[in-house]
Structure 1
Protein backbone atom coordinates (compact mmCIF):
# COMPACT_ATOMS: atom_id res chain seq x y z
CA UNK A 1 0.00 0.00 0.00
CA UNK A 2 2.92 2.28 0.64
CA UNK A 3 4.05 1.70 -2.94
CA UNK A 4 0.58 2.57 -4.18
CA UNK A 5 0.61 5.74 -2.14
CA UNK A 6 3.95 6.80 -3.55
CA UNK A 7 2.73 6.21 -7.10
CA UNK A 8 -0.42 8.24 -6.60
CA UNK A 9 1.17 10.98 -4.59
CA UNK A 10 -1.31 10.40 -1.79
CA UNK A 11 -0.48 9.91 1.90
CA UNK A 12 -1.88 6.80 3.50
CA UNK A 13 -3.86 7.68 6.60
CA UNK A 14 -2.69 6.06 9.82
CA UNK A 15 -4.80 3.23 11.15
CA UNK A 16 -6.70 4.45 14.24
CA UNK A 17 -5.89 2.63 17.44
CA UNK A 18 -9.46 2.90 18.68
CA UNK A 19 -11.75 -0.05 18.01
CA UNK A 20 -14.82 2.13 18.00
CA UNK A 21 -17.27 1.35 15.13
CA UNK A 22 -17.35 5.01 14.08
CA UNK A 23 -13.59 4.96 13.67
CA UNK A 24 -13.89 1.84 11.55
CA UNK A 25 -16.47 3.51 9.30
CA UNK A 26 -14.33 6.60 8.83
CA UNK A 27 -11.30 4.45 8.14
CA UNK A 28 -13.19 2.34 5.57
CA UNK A 29 -14.58 5.40 3.79
CA UNK A 30 -11.13 6.93 3.64
CA UNK A 31 -9.59 3.79 2.24
CA UNK A 32 -12.30 3.46 -0.45
CA UNK A 33 -11.83 7.08 -1.51
CA UNK A 34 -8.07 6.66 -1.62
CA UNK A 35 -8.26 3.47 -3.76
CA UNK A 36 -10.63 5.11 -6.24
CA UNK A 37 -8.33 8.08 -6.62
CA UNK A 38 -5.30 5.81 -6.98
CA UNK A 39 -6.91 3.67 -9.68
CA UNK A 40 -8.05 6.76 -11.55
CA UNK A 41 -4.53 8.17 -11.54
CA UNK A 42 -3.13 4.83 -12.77
CA UNK A 43 -5.73 4.68 -15.57
CA UNK A 44 -6.82 1.15 -14.58
CA UNK A 45 -9.95 1.54 -16.63
CA UNK A 46 -11.31 -1.66 -18.24
CA UNK A 47 -12.40 0.39 -21.24
CA UNK A 48 -9.05 2.11 -21.70
CA UNK A 49 -7.37 1.50 -25.02
CA UNK A 50 -4.22 0.21 -23.30
CA UNK A 51 -6.07 -3.03 -22.58
CA UNK A 52 -6.71 -3.88 -26.25
CA UNK A 53 -4.49 -4.65 -29.21
CA UNK A 54 -4.51 -1.82 -31.72
CA UNK A 55 -6.07 -4.13 -34.36
CA UNK A 56 -9.34 -4.36 -32.39
CA UNK A 57 -11.95 -1.69 -31.99
CA UNK A 58 -13.92 -0.94 -28.87
CA UNK A 59 -17.13 -1.62 -30.73
CA UNK A 60 -15.91 -5.11 -31.57
CA UNK A 61 -15.00 -6.15 -28.03
CA UNK A 62 -17.00 -4.04 -25.63
CA UNK A 63 -20.80 -4.12 -25.51
CA UNK A 64 -22.55 -0.79 -25.67
CA UNK A 65 -25.77 -2.00 -24.08
CA UNK A 66 -25.35 -2.94 -20.41
CA UNK A 67 -29.06 -3.06 -19.67
CA UNK A 68 -29.17 -6.87 -20.00
CA UNK A 69 -29.78 -8.88 -16.84
CA UNK A 70 -27.27 -11.59 -17.79
CA UNK A 71 -23.67 -10.65 -18.66
CA UNK A 72 -23.69 -13.34 -21.35
CA UNK A 73 -26.50 -11.54 -23.16
CA UNK A 74 -24.16 -8.67 -23.85
CA UNK A 75 -21.83 -10.96 -25.82
CA UNK A 76 -23.81 -12.68 -28.61
CA UNK A 77 -22.19 -16.02 -29.34
CA UNK A 78 -22.42 -15.92 -33.11
CA UNK A 79 -20.31 -19.04 -33.53
CA UNK A 80 -22.62 -21.08 -31.32
CA UNK A 81 -25.67 -19.83 -33.17
CA UNK A 82 -24.04 -20.66 -36.51
CA UNK A 83 -23.07 -24.14 -35.31
CA UNK A 84 -26.59 -24.76 -34.05
CA UNK A 85 -27.95 -23.69 -37.42
CA UNK A 86 -25.56 -25.97 -39.31
CA UNK A 87 -26.36 -28.87 -36.99
CA UNK A 88 -30.05 -28.24 -37.58
CA UNK A 89 -29.49 -28.36 -41.33
CA UNK A 90 -27.50 -31.60 -40.99
CA UNK A 91 -30.25 -33.15 -38.87
CA UNK A 92 -32.82 -32.11 -41.45
CA UNK A 93 -30.71 -33.49 -44.29
CA UNK A 94 -30.18 -36.72 -42.36
CA UNK A 95 -33.91 -37.14 -41.76
CA UNK A 96 -34.66 -36.43 -45.41
CA UNK A 97 -32.05 -38.97 -46.52
CA UNK A 98 -33.43 -41.66 -44.18
CA UNK A 99 -36.98 -40.96 -45.32
CA UNK A 100 -35.93 -41.24 -48.98
CA UNK A 101 -34.04 -44.47 -48.28
CA UNK A 102 -37.00 -46.00 -46.41
CA UNK A 103 -39.26 -45.09 -49.33
CA UNK A 104 -36.85 -46.82 -51.73
CA UNK A 105 -36.83 -49.94 -49.54
CA UNK A 106 -40.64 -50.11 -49.58
CA UNK A 107 -40.51 -49.96 -53.38
CA UNK A 108 -37.90 -52.73 -53.68
CA UNK A 109 -38.14 -56.54 -53.64
CA UNK A 110 -35.44 -59.14 -53.08
CA UNK A 111 -35.30 -61.94 -55.66
CA UNK A 112 -33.25 -65.13 -55.10
CA UNK A 113 -32.61 -68.50 -56.80
CA UNK A 114 -31.90 -66.81 -60.12
CA UNK A 115 -30.76 -69.01 -63.00
CA UNK A 116 -27.23 -68.19 -64.17
CA UNK A 117 -28.50 -67.60 -67.72
CA UNK A 118 -31.04 -64.96 -66.66
CA UNK A 119 -29.93 -61.41 -67.46
CA UNK A 120 -30.95 -58.20 -65.74
CA UNK A 121 -33.01 -57.25 -68.79
CA UNK A 122 -34.93 -60.54 -68.69
CA UNK A 123 -35.54 -60.26 -64.95
CA UNK A 124 -36.76 -56.67 -65.31
CA UNK A 125 -39.08 -57.76 -68.14
CA UNK A 126 -40.66 -60.36 -65.85
CA UNK A 127 -41.42 -57.83 -63.13
CA UNK A 128 -42.51 -55.08 -65.51
CA UNK A 129 -45.94 -56.72 -65.49
CA UNK A 130 -46.29 -55.57 -61.86
CA UNK A 131 -45.42 -51.93 -62.49
CA UNK A 132 -42.74 -49.61 -63.77
CA UNK A 133 -39.28 -51.01 -62.93
CA UNK A 134 -36.89 -48.21 -61.93
CA UNK A 135 -33.77 -50.34 -61.41
CA UNK A 136 -32.71 -53.99 -61.42
CA UNK A 137 -29.42 -55.30 -60.00
CA UNK A 138 -28.35 -58.96 -60.24
CA UNK A 139 -25.62 -59.94 -57.75
CA UNK A 140 -23.63 -63.02 -56.86
CA UNK A 141 -21.57 -65.62 -58.71
CA UNK A 142 -22.67 -65.59 -62.38
CA UNK A 143 -22.11 -69.38 -62.59
CA UNK A 144 -24.22 -70.24 -59.55
CA UNK A 145 -27.93 -70.57 -58.87
CA UNK A 146 -27.25 -68.70 -55.67
CA UNK A 147 -27.46 -65.42 -57.55
CA UNK A 148 -29.89 -62.84 -56.21
CA UNK A 149 -31.24 -59.50 -57.30
CA UNK A 150 -32.93 -56.32 -56.14
CA UNK A 151 -35.77 -54.90 -58.22
CA UNK A 152 -36.98 -51.37 -57.49
CA UNK A 153 -40.36 -50.10 -58.67
CA UNK A 154 -41.69 -46.60 -59.17
CA UNK A 155 -44.23 -47.08 -56.36
CA UNK A 156 -45.13 -49.44 -53.52
CA UNK A 157 -48.02 -51.00 -55.46
CA UNK A 158 -45.55 -52.51 -57.95
CA UNK A 159 -43.43 -53.96 -55.13
CA UNK A 160 -46.47 -55.53 -53.42
CA UNK A 161 -47.67 -57.00 -56.72
CA UNK A 162 -44.19 -58.43 -57.37
CA UNK A 163 -44.47 -60.59 -54.24
CA UNK A 164 -47.10 -62.67 -56.06
CA UNK A 165 -44.49 -63.75 -58.64
CA UNK A 166 -42.68 -65.94 -56.11
CA UNK A 167 -42.45 -69.46 -57.54
CA UNK A 168 -42.47 -68.28 -61.17
CA UNK A 169 -40.20 -70.38 -63.38
CA UNK A 170 -37.46 -68.21 -64.85
CA UNK A 171 -34.95 -70.28 -66.73
CA UNK A 172 -34.58 -73.63 -64.96
CA UNK A 173 -35.53 -72.54 -61.46
CA UNK A 174 -38.50 -70.93 -59.71
CA UNK A 175 -37.56 -67.56 -58.24
CA UNK A 176 -38.24 -66.51 -54.68
CA UNK A 177 -39.53 -62.99 -54.10
CA UNK A 178 -39.46 -61.28 -50.69
CA UNK A 179 -39.71 -57.69 -49.44
CA UNK A 180 -36.27 -56.10 -49.51
CA UNK A 181 -34.50 -54.94 -46.36
CA UNK A 182 -32.12 -52.68 -48.27
CA UNK A 183 -32.30 -50.11 -51.04
CA UNK A 184 -30.39 -50.30 -54.30
CA UNK A 185 -27.31 -48.11 -54.17
CA UNK A 186 -27.90 -45.54 -56.90
CA UNK A 187 -25.43 -45.00 -59.71
CA UNK A 188 -23.82 -41.57 -59.78
CA UNK A 189 -26.12 -39.73 -62.23
CA UNK A 190 -23.19 -37.85 -63.74
CA UNK A 191 -21.95 -41.14 -65.20
CA UNK A 192 -25.27 -42.31 -66.63
CA UNK A 193 -25.94 -42.01 -70.38
CA UNK A 194 -26.85 -38.49 -71.44
CA UNK A 195 -27.82 -39.12 -75.06
CA UNK A 196 -28.96 -41.81 -77.45
CA UNK A 197 -25.38 -42.24 -78.63
CA UNK A 198 -24.19 -42.90 -75.07
CA UNK A 199 -27.02 -45.38 -74.50
CA UNK A 200 -25.81 -47.19 -77.62
CA UNK A 201 -22.29 -47.11 -76.18
CA UNK A 202 -23.59 -48.79 -73.00
CA UNK A 203 -25.03 -51.61 -75.10
CA UNK A 204 -21.50 -52.23 -76.41
CA UNK A 205 -19.81 -51.99 -73.00
CA UNK A 206 -19.24 -54.48 -70.20
CA UNK A 207 -18.14 -53.96 -66.60
CA UNK A 208 -15.36 -56.30 -65.52
CA UNK A 209 -14.29 -56.82 -61.88
CA UNK A 210 -11.81 -58.92 -59.87
CA UNK A 211 -8.93 -58.20 -62.27
CA UNK A 212 -5.47 -59.22 -61.11
CA UNK A 213 -3.40 -56.13 -60.31
CA UNK A 214 -0.44 -57.55 -62.22
CA UNK A 215 -2.45 -57.63 -65.45
CA UNK A 216 -1.80 -54.66 -67.73
CA UNK A 217 -4.35 -52.76 -69.78
CA UNK A 218 -2.91 -54.24 -72.98
CA UNK A 219 -3.37 -57.76 -71.59
CA UNK A 220 -7.01 -57.04 -70.68
CA UNK A 221 -7.63 -55.74 -74.19
CA UNK A 222 -5.96 -58.74 -75.82
CA UNK A 223 -7.96 -61.13 -73.62
CA UNK A 224 -11.34 -59.70 -74.68
CA UNK A 225 -10.39 -59.25 -78.32
CA UNK A 226 -9.33 -62.88 -78.65
CA UNK A 227 -12.50 -64.15 -76.96
CA UNK A 228 -15.13 -61.64 -78.09
CA UNK A 229 -14.12 -59.19 -80.81
CA UNK A 230 -12.61 -55.79 -81.44
CA UNK A 231 -12.29 -53.51 -78.42
CA UNK A 232 -12.76 -49.84 -79.31
CA UNK A 233 -12.11 -48.34 -75.87
CA UNK A 234 -11.00 -49.67 -72.48
CA UNK A 235 -10.71 -48.02 -69.06
CA UNK A 236 -8.75 -49.96 -66.40
CA UNK A 237 -9.11 -48.57 -62.88
CA UNK A 238 -7.63 -49.42 -59.48
CA UNK A 239 -6.12 -48.02 -56.30
CA UNK A 240 -3.76 -48.91 -53.45
CA UNK A 241 -6.60 -49.99 -51.15
CA UNK A 242 -8.33 -52.77 -53.08
CA UNK A 243 -6.50 -55.99 -53.98
CA UNK A 244 -8.01 -56.16 -57.49
CA UNK A 245 -8.93 -53.76 -60.29
CA UNK A 246 -11.97 -53.06 -62.44
CA UNK A 247 -12.40 -52.23 -66.12
CA UNK A 248 -14.97 -50.86 -68.54
CA UNK A 249 -14.57 -52.52 -71.92
CA UNK A 250 -16.32 -51.01 -74.94
CA UNK A 251 -16.53 -53.17 -78.05
CA UNK A 252 -16.99 -52.11 -81.65
CA UNK A 253 -20.09 -54.35 -81.89
CA UNK A 254 -22.93 -54.94 -79.41
CA UNK A 255 -22.76 -58.67 -80.19
CA UNK A 256 -19.22 -58.76 -78.80
CA UNK A 257 -20.45 -57.32 -75.50
CA UNK A 258 -23.06 -60.10 -75.25
CA UNK A 259 -20.37 -62.72 -75.87
CA UNK A 260 -18.17 -61.05 -73.21
CA UNK A 261 -20.79 -61.78 -70.55
CA UNK A 262 -19.90 -65.48 -70.93
CA UNK A 263 -16.32 -64.70 -69.89
CA UNK A 264 -17.31 -64.53 -66.22
CA UNK A 265 -15.33 -67.12 -64.29
CA UNK A 266 -12.47 -67.26 -66.79
CA UNK A 267 -9.04 -66.67 -65.29
CA UNK A 268 -7.18 -63.53 -66.32
CA UNK A 269 -3.77 -63.49 -64.70
CA UNK A 270 -4.36 -65.34 -61.44
CA UNK A 271 -7.99 -64.29 -60.76
CA UNK A 272 -11.33 -65.40 -62.19
CA UNK A 273 -12.96 -62.25 -63.57
CA UNK A 274 -16.61 -61.24 -63.29
CA UNK A 275 -18.33 -59.58 -66.23
CA UNK A 276 -21.70 -57.82 -66.26
CA UNK A 277 -23.46 -55.26 -68.47
CA UNK A 278 -22.29 -51.72 -67.91
CA UNK A 279 -24.71 -49.03 -66.83
CA UNK A 280 -22.32 -46.26 -67.81
CA UNK A 281 -20.52 -45.47 -71.07
CA UNK A 282 -16.76 -45.14 -71.38
CA UNK A 283 -16.41 -41.46 -72.17
CA UNK A 284 -13.25 -40.21 -73.88
CA UNK A 285 -10.89 -38.50 -71.49
CA UNK A 286 -10.84 -34.73 -71.82
CA UNK A 287 -7.24 -33.55 -72.31
CA UNK A 288 -6.04 -31.11 -69.73
CA UNK A 289 -5.51 -27.56 -70.93
CA UNK A 290 -1.85 -26.84 -71.48
CA UNK A 291 -0.38 -23.98 -69.51
CA UNK A 292 1.27 -21.25 -71.54
Structure 2
Protein backbone atom coordinates (compact mmCIF):
# COMPACT_ATOMS: atom_id res chain seq x y z
CA UNK A 1 0.00 0.00 0.00
CA UNK A 2 2.84 2.32 0.84
CA UNK A 3 4.54 1.50 -2.44
CA UNK A 4 1.51 2.54 -4.30
CA UNK A 5 1.47 5.84 -2.43
CA UNK A 6 5.10 6.42 -3.18
CA UNK A 7 4.55 5.75 -6.81
CA UNK A 8 1.66 8.13 -6.86
CA UNK A 9 3.81 10.80 -5.21
CA UNK A 10 6.49 10.32 -7.81
CA UNK A 11 3.87 10.60 -10.47
CA UNK A 12 2.68 13.87 -9.01
CA UNK A 13 6.23 15.14 -8.77
CA UNK A 14 6.87 14.12 -12.36
CA UNK A 15 3.71 15.87 -13.46
CA UNK A 16 4.81 19.07 -11.70
CA UNK A 17 8.19 18.89 -13.39
CA UNK A 18 6.53 18.43 -16.77
CA UNK A 19 4.28 21.47 -16.20
CA UNK A 20 7.30 23.54 -15.24
CA UNK A 21 9.12 22.50 -18.34
CA UNK A 22 6.10 23.36 -20.49
CA UNK A 23 5.76 26.80 -18.86
CA UNK A 24 9.49 27.40 -19.29
CA UNK A 25 9.29 26.38 -22.91
CA UNK A 26 6.30 28.71 -23.46
CA UNK A 27 8.02 31.63 -21.79
CA UNK A 28 11.17 31.02 -23.78
CA UNK A 29 9.07 30.77 -26.93
CA UNK A 30 7.40 34.11 -26.12
CA UNK A 31 10.74 35.74 -25.51
CA UNK A 32 12.03 34.30 -28.72
CA UNK A 33 9.04 35.52 -30.75
CA UNK A 34 9.22 39.07 -29.31
CA UNK A 35 12.92 39.25 -30.02
CA UNK A 36 12.28 38.12 -33.55
CA UNK A 37 9.71 40.88 -33.98
CA UNK A 38 12.12 43.46 -32.62
CA UNK A 39 14.78 42.27 -35.01
CA UNK A 40 12.34 42.36 -37.89
CA UNK A 41 11.17 45.89 -37.13
CA UNK A 42 14.69 47.21 -36.80
CA UNK A 43 15.45 45.91 -40.26
CA UNK A 44 12.46 47.67 -41.87
CA UNK A 45 12.98 50.83 -43.94
CA UNK A 46 10.73 53.64 -42.64
CA UNK A 47 10.80 55.24 -46.11
CA UNK A 48 9.50 52.14 -47.80
CA UNK A 49 6.34 52.53 -49.86
CA UNK A 50 4.38 50.28 -47.43
CA UNK A 51 4.49 53.08 -44.84
CA UNK A 52 2.97 55.75 -47.14
CA UNK A 53 -0.52 56.12 -48.65
CA UNK A 54 -0.86 55.01 -52.21
CA UNK A 55 -1.63 58.52 -53.56
CA UNK A 56 1.48 59.93 -51.86
CA UNK A 57 3.66 57.20 -53.23
CA UNK A 58 2.17 57.77 -56.70
CA UNK A 59 3.00 61.47 -56.72
CA UNK A 60 6.45 60.93 -55.30
CA UNK A 61 7.16 58.31 -57.92
CA UNK A 62 6.30 60.78 -60.66
CA UNK A 63 8.55 63.40 -59.16
CA UNK A 64 11.42 61.01 -58.64
CA UNK A 65 11.03 59.63 -62.11
CA UNK A 66 11.12 63.10 -63.59
CA UNK A 67 14.12 63.93 -61.45
CA UNK A 68 16.14 60.81 -62.11
CA UNK A 69 15.29 60.18 -65.70
CA UNK A 70 17.42 61.58 -68.48
CA UNK A 71 15.55 64.39 -70.29
CA UNK A 72 13.86 63.06 -73.37
CA UNK A 73 13.62 65.21 -76.46
CA UNK A 74 10.12 66.50 -77.01
CA UNK A 75 8.13 65.31 -79.91
CA UNK A 76 7.66 67.57 -82.86
CA UNK A 77 4.11 68.39 -81.84
CA UNK A 78 5.02 69.32 -78.27
CA UNK A 79 8.04 71.24 -79.41
CA UNK A 80 5.98 73.26 -81.83
CA UNK A 81 3.37 73.85 -79.15
CA UNK A 82 5.94 75.09 -76.65
CA UNK A 83 7.62 77.25 -79.27
CA UNK A 84 4.25 78.65 -80.23
CA UNK A 85 3.50 79.50 -76.62
CA UNK A 86 6.89 81.16 -76.38
CA UNK A 87 6.27 83.19 -79.50
CA UNK A 88 2.83 84.21 -78.24
CA UNK A 89 4.32 85.37 -74.96
CA UNK A 90 6.94 87.38 -76.84
CA UNK A 91 4.31 88.89 -79.14
CA UNK A 92 2.10 89.79 -76.19
CA UNK A 93 5.06 91.40 -74.48
CA UNK A 94 5.85 93.36 -77.62
CA UNK A 95 2.24 94.47 -77.95
CA UNK A 96 2.24 95.64 -74.34
CA UNK A 97 5.49 97.52 -74.91
CA UNK A 98 4.17 99.02 -78.14
CA UNK A 99 0.95 100.03 -76.39
CA UNK A 100 2.85 101.70 -73.56
CA UNK A 101 5.18 103.41 -76.02
CA UNK A 102 2.22 104.66 -78.06
CA UNK A 103 0.46 106.04 -74.99
CA UNK A 104 3.65 107.70 -73.78
CA UNK A 105 4.20 109.27 -77.21
CA UNK A 106 0.57 110.43 -77.37
CA UNK A 107 0.73 111.95 -73.87
CA UNK A 108 3.94 113.76 -74.77
CA UNK A 109 2.30 115.13 -77.92
CA UNK A 110 -0.71 116.36 -75.90
CA UNK A 111 1.56 118.23 -73.49
CA UNK A 112 3.17 119.97 -76.47
CA UNK A 113 -0.18 121.01 -78.04
CA UNK A 114 -2.53 123.94 -77.39
CA UNK A 115 -6.17 124.37 -78.38
CA UNK A 116 -7.07 127.65 -80.11
CA UNK A 117 -10.69 128.79 -80.62
CA UNK A 118 -12.59 131.85 -81.91
CA UNK A 119 -10.47 132.01 -85.05
CA UNK A 120 -11.44 134.61 -87.63
CA UNK A 121 -12.57 133.15 -90.94
CA UNK A 122 -9.94 135.18 -92.79
CA UNK A 123 -7.05 133.63 -90.87
CA UNK A 124 -5.10 130.84 -92.59
CA UNK A 125 -3.08 128.09 -90.99
CA UNK A 126 0.13 129.86 -91.99
CA UNK A 127 -0.95 133.07 -90.24
CA UNK A 128 -2.00 131.19 -87.11
CA UNK A 129 1.31 129.35 -87.01
CA UNK A 130 3.11 132.67 -87.46
CA UNK A 131 1.36 134.06 -84.36
CA UNK A 132 2.77 131.24 -82.22
CA UNK A 133 6.20 131.07 -83.89
CA UNK A 134 7.64 133.41 -81.25
CA UNK A 135 6.70 130.93 -78.51
CA UNK A 136 8.75 128.09 -79.95
CA UNK A 137 9.15 125.87 -82.97
CA UNK A 138 5.71 125.00 -84.38
CA UNK A 139 5.62 121.37 -85.52
CA UNK A 140 2.04 121.29 -86.85
CA UNK A 141 -1.00 123.55 -87.09
CA UNK A 142 -4.51 122.32 -87.96
CA UNK A 143 -7.48 124.66 -88.38
CA UNK A 144 -10.86 122.90 -88.17
CA UNK A 145 -14.48 123.89 -88.65
CA UNK A 146 -16.39 125.83 -91.28
CA UNK A 147 -14.05 128.40 -92.89
CA UNK A 148 -16.97 130.87 -93.07
CA UNK A 149 -17.75 130.63 -89.36
CA UNK A 150 -16.19 132.44 -86.40
CA UNK A 151 -16.48 129.18 -84.47
CA UNK A 152 -13.41 127.75 -86.11
CA UNK A 153 -10.80 126.17 -83.86
CA UNK A 154 -7.30 124.82 -84.25
CA UNK A 155 -4.62 122.68 -82.67
CA UNK A 156 -1.03 123.94 -82.59
CA UNK A 157 1.74 121.51 -81.70
CA UNK A 158 5.19 122.65 -80.58
CA UNK A 159 8.53 120.88 -80.53
CA UNK A 160 8.68 120.99 -76.71
CA UNK A 161 6.48 121.67 -73.68
CA UNK A 162 8.08 125.08 -73.08
CA UNK A 163 6.63 126.33 -76.36
CA UNK A 164 3.14 125.13 -75.43
CA UNK A 165 3.33 126.81 -72.00
CA UNK A 166 4.52 130.05 -73.59
CA UNK A 167 1.64 129.92 -76.09
CA UNK A 168 -0.90 130.07 -73.25
CA UNK A 169 0.17 133.67 -72.60
CA UNK A 170 -1.28 134.64 -76.02
CA UNK A 171 -4.82 134.02 -74.81
CA UNK A 172 -6.92 137.07 -75.78
CA UNK A 173 -4.57 138.21 -78.54
CA UNK A 174 -6.34 139.91 -81.46
CA UNK A 175 -5.94 137.92 -84.66
CA UNK A 176 -8.01 139.33 -87.50
CA UNK A 177 -11.23 140.74 -86.04
CA UNK A 178 -11.52 138.52 -82.98
CA UNK A 179 -9.38 137.75 -79.90
CA UNK A 180 -8.33 134.11 -79.92
CA UNK A 181 -8.67 131.83 -76.92
CA UNK A 182 -5.70 129.58 -76.11
CA UNK A 183 -6.05 126.62 -73.76
CA UNK A 184 -4.09 123.43 -73.05
CA UNK A 185 -5.17 120.71 -75.46
CA UNK A 186 -6.78 117.48 -74.32
CA UNK A 187 -6.04 115.68 -77.58
CA UNK A 188 -3.08 115.25 -79.88
CA UNK A 189 -3.02 116.11 -83.56
CA UNK A 190 -3.57 113.00 -85.63
CA UNK A 191 -0.43 112.74 -87.75
CA UNK A 192 -0.70 112.53 -91.51
CA UNK A 193 0.41 109.24 -93.00
CA UNK A 194 4.06 109.95 -93.86
CA UNK A 195 3.77 107.94 -97.08
CA UNK A 196 1.32 110.57 -98.38
CA UNK A 197 3.49 113.58 -97.56
CA UNK A 198 5.46 115.29 -100.36
CA UNK A 199 8.75 113.55 -101.09
CA UNK A 200 10.36 116.06 -103.43
CA UNK A 201 10.36 119.74 -104.30
CA UNK A 202 8.14 118.98 -107.26
CA UNK A 203 5.51 117.39 -104.98
CA UNK A 204 5.70 120.32 -102.57
CA UNK A 205 4.91 122.60 -105.48
CA UNK A 206 1.98 120.30 -106.33
CA UNK A 207 0.62 120.80 -102.79
CA UNK A 208 0.43 124.57 -103.35
CA UNK A 209 -1.87 123.87 -106.31
CA UNK A 210 -4.05 121.31 -104.49
CA UNK A 211 -7.06 121.66 -102.21
CA UNK A 212 -8.72 119.10 -99.95
CA UNK A 213 -12.49 118.97 -100.25
CA UNK A 214 -14.86 117.22 -97.80
CA UNK A 215 -18.61 116.78 -97.18
CA UNK A 216 -19.28 115.92 -100.82
CA UNK A 217 -22.66 114.51 -101.75
CA UNK A 218 -22.36 110.88 -102.85
CA UNK A 219 -24.54 111.55 -105.89
CA UNK A 220 -22.03 114.07 -107.26
CA UNK A 221 -19.87 112.52 -109.98
CA UNK A 222 -16.22 113.30 -110.69
CA UNK A 223 -17.18 115.06 -113.94
CA UNK A 224 -19.69 117.31 -112.14
CA UNK A 225 -17.14 118.19 -109.50
CA UNK A 226 -14.47 119.04 -112.06
CA UNK A 227 -16.91 121.26 -113.95
CA UNK A 228 -17.87 123.01 -110.69
CA UNK A 229 -14.29 124.00 -109.82
CA UNK A 230 -13.25 124.85 -113.37
CA UNK A 231 -16.23 127.19 -113.83
CA UNK A 232 -15.33 129.03 -110.62
CA UNK A 233 -11.58 128.74 -110.06
CA UNK A 234 -9.69 127.66 -113.16
CA UNK A 235 -8.32 124.64 -114.98
CA UNK A 236 -8.21 121.37 -112.99
CA UNK A 237 -5.23 119.20 -113.91
CA UNK A 238 -6.06 116.24 -111.66
CA UNK A 239 -8.96 115.25 -109.40
CA UNK A 240 -9.20 112.28 -107.04
CA UNK A 241 -12.69 111.54 -105.68
CA UNK A 242 -12.76 109.05 -102.79
CA UNK A 243 -15.45 107.43 -100.68
CA UNK A 244 -16.78 104.20 -99.18
CA UNK A 245 -20.00 102.52 -98.07
CA UNK A 246 -19.55 103.48 -94.40
CA UNK A 247 -19.48 107.29 -94.57
CA UNK A 248 -22.46 109.27 -95.85
CA UNK A 249 -20.28 111.76 -97.77
CA UNK A 250 -17.14 111.65 -99.88
CA UNK A 251 -13.81 113.50 -100.03
CA UNK A 252 -11.67 114.72 -102.91
CA UNK A 253 -8.24 116.11 -103.76
CA UNK A 254 -8.36 118.71 -106.51
CA UNK A 255 -5.14 119.79 -108.21
CA UNK A 256 -5.25 122.93 -110.34
CA UNK A 257 -2.93 124.01 -113.11
CA UNK A 258 -2.14 127.27 -111.27
CA UNK A 259 -1.57 127.98 -107.57
CA UNK A 260 -3.83 131.04 -107.84
CA UNK A 261 -6.73 128.76 -108.75
CA UNK A 262 -6.21 126.77 -105.53
CA UNK A 263 -6.36 129.99 -103.49
CA UNK A 264 -9.62 130.95 -105.19
CA UNK A 265 -10.99 127.44 -104.52
CA UNK A 266 -10.66 128.04 -100.76
CA UNK A 267 -13.46 130.61 -101.08
CA UNK A 268 -15.76 127.87 -102.41
CA UNK A 269 -16.04 126.40 -98.94
CA UNK A 270 -19.68 126.54 -97.86
CA UNK A 271 -21.10 126.47 -101.39
CA UNK A 272 -23.70 123.81 -102.08
CA UNK A 273 -22.73 121.08 -104.51
CA UNK A 274 -25.54 118.60 -104.99
CA UNK A 275 -27.32 118.60 -101.63
CA UNK A 276 -24.33 119.26 -99.36
CA UNK A 277 -22.29 122.35 -98.52
CA UNK A 278 -18.71 121.40 -99.34
CA UNK A 279 -15.69 122.32 -97.22
CA UNK A 280 -12.41 123.25 -98.87
CA UNK A 281 -9.01 123.55 -97.19
CA UNK A 282 -5.37 123.51 -98.33
CA UNK A 283 -4.02 120.03 -98.96
CA UNK A 284 -0.97 118.72 -97.15
CA UNK A 285 -0.52 115.89 -99.62
CA UNK A 286 -0.09 115.88 -103.40
CA UNK A 287 -2.32 114.00 -105.80
CA UNK A 288 0.02 111.38 -107.19
CA UNK A 289 -0.80 109.82 -110.56
CA UNK A 290 -2.07 106.29 -110.35
CA UNK A 291 0.45 103.59 -111.19
CA UNK A 292 -0.91 101.38 -113.95
CA UNK A 293 0.22 97.79 -113.78
CA UNK A 294 1.04 96.04 -117.02
CA UNK A 295 -1.53 93.46 -118.05
CA UNK A 296 -0.39 89.87 -118.31
CA UNK A 297 -0.87 88.20 -121.65
TM-score (norm 1): 0.74
Q: CA deviation at 1:290?
A: 1.5
Match of 1:154 in 2: 159
Match of 1:138 in 2: 143
SS across alignment from 2:67: coil
Cα 1:80–1:200 shift into 2, 3 Å: same
Unmatched runs of 5 consecutive residues or more in structure 2 = 1-64
1:259 to 264, 267, 282: 264
Q: CA deviation at 1:66?
A: 4.0
- Residues 25-174 of structure 1: matches in 2 within 5 Å? 66-67=66-67, 77-174=82-179
Match of 1:56 in 2: none
Unmatched runs of 5 consecutive residues or more in structure 1 = 1-64
CA RMSD in angstroms comes to: 1.8
Q: CA deviation at 1:289?
A: 2.0
The one-character-per-residue Cα deviations of 1:194-234 (angstroms, maximum 9, x if unpaired) are 01111110000000001111111010000000111111110
Q: CA deviation at 1:80?
A: 2.1
Q: Does 1:209 align with 2:178?
A: no
The one-character-per-residue Cα deviations of 1:160-193 (angstroms, maximum 9, x if unpaired) are 1111111110010000001111000000000000
Query: Structure 2: how far apart are the matches of 1:191 and 1:131?
Result: 26
Query: Structure 2: how far apart are the matches of 1:157 and 1:166?
Result: 16
Match of 2:290 in 1: 285
Greater helix share, 1 or 2? 2
SS across alignment from 1:67: helix
Match of 1:188 in 2: 193
The one-character-per-residue Cα deviations of 1:132-185 (angstroms, maximum 9, x if unpaired) are 111000011211111100000111111111111111100100000011110000
Cα 1:68–1:119 shift into 2, 3 Å: farther
Query: Structure 1: how far apart are the matches of 2:86 and 2:66?
Result: 21
- Please identify, of 80-89 and 187-196, the stretch whose mean Cα deviation from structure 2 is larger: 80-89
Match of 1:10 in 2: none
Q: Does 1:274 align with 2:279?
A: yes
Q: CA deviation at 1:288?
A: 1.2
Query: Structure 2: how far apart are the matches of 1:289 and 1:94?
Result: 41
2:205 to 188, 200, 204: 200
SS across alignment from 2:100: helix
Q: CA deviation at 1:78?
A: 2.6
Q: CA deviation at 1:79?
A: 2.4
Q: CA deviation at 1:240?
A: 1.0
